[in-house]
């Protein structure tokens, strides 16, 4: 160790660790940051959703130097990066950010993350994070309640929908194939099959691949005109697979598909799975939150029929990333799937009976306190608050769909929950440089999307269905107002007309 390293170590030993801050310093830097964030949120509507020079400015700011040997003061570190992030990020907080399925993050979630990081409990075991674990338990119960899923189900919070879905299918694998699968893997198990439509999110391919089944284990079920699972075809697929010697392991239904928000016929699928004794999983990452609405579609009111369900709090519960939730009706399935004996974690005993540790119910060991932001959002909004926000998002999507239908050069394709897909089509047979084919329309709509995003007034995304490139608006955003969606059809037509 040379002398300079030694003197740094001495600073730490003297109570001046380079990463520590005095209360006074924390207050000064923190208050400034809170003021900056508050001003950003107050003014977000008047900003552009996207800044055209974001990548360039970020690269300029970061430069290409090696890890600096000398650190900076907290004031210096904070001041330039907070401005960069506010000025140059793609603003998911913007009222006209409508891309992918990305909730607008609640401000209280940001405060919760700060508090959670300050306390920094580890939710691997109840003993290390007792208060935090109890908050997670209540958050999971409240999420179950709002979706109409049994309160006593097992469940936990995870990073997001992909992991929530994979966790559920791991539980299904263990429940159906038995304890041996954890010791022997799949080598002694029958060849299994999973049933889903092509509209199912790509987490499913990841899941069957990672679980060792391979992507060929997915049997694709046909859809109806609204892109919902065709249950007659599902029954036929199951019968055919059984005849060929496969084991139908799980049906995966979507409560709100990623492209169009389609809700599979949950009730009918549940009945079929019950008859056929097949695990029934629902990917409710997007749509399950809408089950809270008194006017929810009938199939969303049947989520409780599934053996397991995944939902994303960072989508329609407006919790800042990352927060997904997995629920398994029989909580023993999670423990059977994930628990391991170890000699290095606290064990519960008769004098201090603790619930089963979260590390024994999911993939992670060390786990952060993401539950706090979930719990604080649920507490701030309450049931009525969520009914109001989610209901408003759906009403605005329906309004947009009506406006599109009334606009001659636009074609509405699908509207379900808060997703609307449509395209620009001027209805001409010929353009100056040739016929207006589907391929040409696809190119025009791609350009429209690019221009809308680059201009920064709004930020929709796209869907590709049946060979058509569609513009797609997904409103999981509590800042979106009627005036925002009202203006979009006109902007699209204006942009399209300038391109032909």
Ligand X SMILES: Cc1ncc(COP(=O)(O)O)c(C=O)c1O
Which residues make up the interface to ligand X (CB under 6 A)? 100-101, 160-162, 201, 203, 254, 256, 258, 283, 285-286, 312, 324
Give me the least distance between CB of 463 and ligand X, in Å please. 12
- How far from the centroid of its chain's Cα atoms is residue 387's Cα? 19
- Separation of alpha carbons 398 and 484, rounded Å: 13
3-state secondary structure of 468: strand
Give me the least distance between CB of 397 and ligand X, in Å please. 15
The answer to whether the beta carbons of residues 142 and 378 sit under 8 Å apart is yes
Give the Å distances, CA to CA, from 311 to 53, 456, 498.
35, 30, 41
> Is the Cα torsion angle 200, 154, 383, 314 positive or negative in sign?
negative
Phi, psi of 220 (to 5 degrees): -85, 125
Give me the least distance between CB of 255 and ligand X, in Å please. 8
**Hunting for tokens 């290409």 — which residue is that?**
64
Residue 343: other Cβ atoms inside 10 A: 5
Q: Give the β-pairing of 324-328 and 154-158.
A: antiparallel
Q: Which is nearer to ligand X, 161 or 489 (CB)?
A: 161
Q: Which is nearer to ligand X, 86 or 251 (CB)?
A: 251
Q: Which is nearer to ligand X, 91 or 325 (CB)?
A: 325
Of the candidates 9, 30, 15, the one whose C-alpha atom is nearest the C-alpha of residue 117 is: 30
The answer to whether the beta carbons of residues 436 and 430 sit under 8 Å apart is yes
Q: Which is nearer to ligand X, 258 or 372 (CB)?
A: 258
Give me the least distance between CB of 342 and ligand X, in Å please. 28
Give me the least distance between CB of 265 and ligand X, in Å please. 16
Q: Which is nearer to ligand X, 109 or 161 (CB)?
A: 161
The helix-helix angle for 54-62 and 74-88 (nearest 10°) equals 160
Give me the least distance between CB of 33 and ligand X, in Å please. 27
Give me the least distance between CB of 208 and ligand X, in Å please. 14
Helix (H) or strand (E) holding 271: helix 266-276
């Amino acid at each position: 160790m040379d002398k300079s390293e030694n003197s740094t170590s001495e600073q730490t030993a003297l109570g001046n660790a380079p990463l520590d801050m005095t209360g006074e310093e924390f207050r000064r830097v923190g208050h400034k940051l809170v003021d900056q964030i508050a001003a950003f949120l107050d003014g977000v509507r008047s900003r552009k959703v996207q800044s055209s020079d974001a990548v360039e400015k970020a690269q300029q700011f970061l430069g290409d130097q090696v890890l600096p040997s000398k650190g900076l003061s907290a004031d210096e570190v904070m001041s330039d990066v907070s401005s960069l992030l506010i000025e140059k990020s793609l603003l998911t907080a913007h009222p006209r950010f409508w891309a992918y399925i990305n909730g607008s993050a609640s401000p209280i979630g940001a405060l919760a993350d700060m508090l959670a990081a300050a306390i920094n409990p580890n939710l691997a075991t109840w003993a290390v994070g007792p208060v935090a674990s109890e908050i997670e338990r209540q958050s999971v119960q409240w999420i179950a309640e709002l979706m109409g899923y049994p309160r006593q189900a097992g469940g936990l919070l995870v990073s997001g929908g992909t992991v929530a879905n994979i966790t559920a299918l791991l539980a299904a694998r263990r429940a159906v194939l038995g304890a041996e699968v954890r010791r022997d893997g799949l080598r002694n198990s029958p060849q299994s099959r999973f049933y889903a439509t092509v509209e199912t999110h790509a987490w499913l391919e990841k899941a069957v691949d990672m679980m060792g089944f391979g992507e060929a284990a997915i049997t694709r079920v046909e859809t109806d005109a609204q892109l919902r699972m065709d249950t007659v075809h599902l029954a036929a697929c199951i019968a055919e697979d059984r005849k060929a010697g496969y084991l139908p392991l799980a049906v995966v239904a979507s409560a709100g598909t990623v492209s169009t928000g389609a809700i599979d016929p949950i009730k009918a699928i549940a009945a079929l799975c019950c008859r056929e004794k097949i695990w029934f999983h629902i990917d409710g990452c997007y749509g399950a939150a809408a089950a809270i609405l008194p006017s929810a579609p009938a199939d969303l009111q049947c989520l409780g029929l599934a053996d397991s369900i995944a939902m994303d709090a960072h989508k329609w519960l407006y919790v800042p990333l990352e927060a997904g939730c997995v629920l398994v009706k029989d909580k023993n399935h999670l423990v059977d799937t994930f628990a391991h004996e170890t000699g290095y974690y606290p064990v519960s005993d008769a004098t201090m009976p603790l619930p089963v540790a979260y590390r024994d119910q999911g993939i992670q060991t060390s786990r952060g306190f993401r539950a706090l932001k979930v719990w604080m959002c649920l507490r701030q909004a309450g049931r009525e608050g969520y009914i109001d926000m989610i209901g408003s998002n759906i009403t605005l999507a329906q309004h947009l769909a009506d406006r599109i239908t009334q606009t001659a050069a636009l074609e509405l394709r699908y509207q379900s929950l808060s997703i609307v897909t449509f395209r620009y089509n001027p209805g001409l047979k010929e353009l100056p440089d040739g016929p207006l084919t589907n391929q040409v329309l696809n190119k025009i709509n791609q350009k429209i999307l690019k221009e809308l995003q680059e201009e920064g007034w709004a930020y929709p995304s796209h869907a590709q269905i049946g060979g058509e490139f569609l513009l797609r608006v997904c409103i999981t955003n509590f800042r979106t107002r009627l005036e925002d969606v009202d203006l979009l059809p006109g902007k699209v037509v204006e942009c399209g007309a300038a391109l032909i």
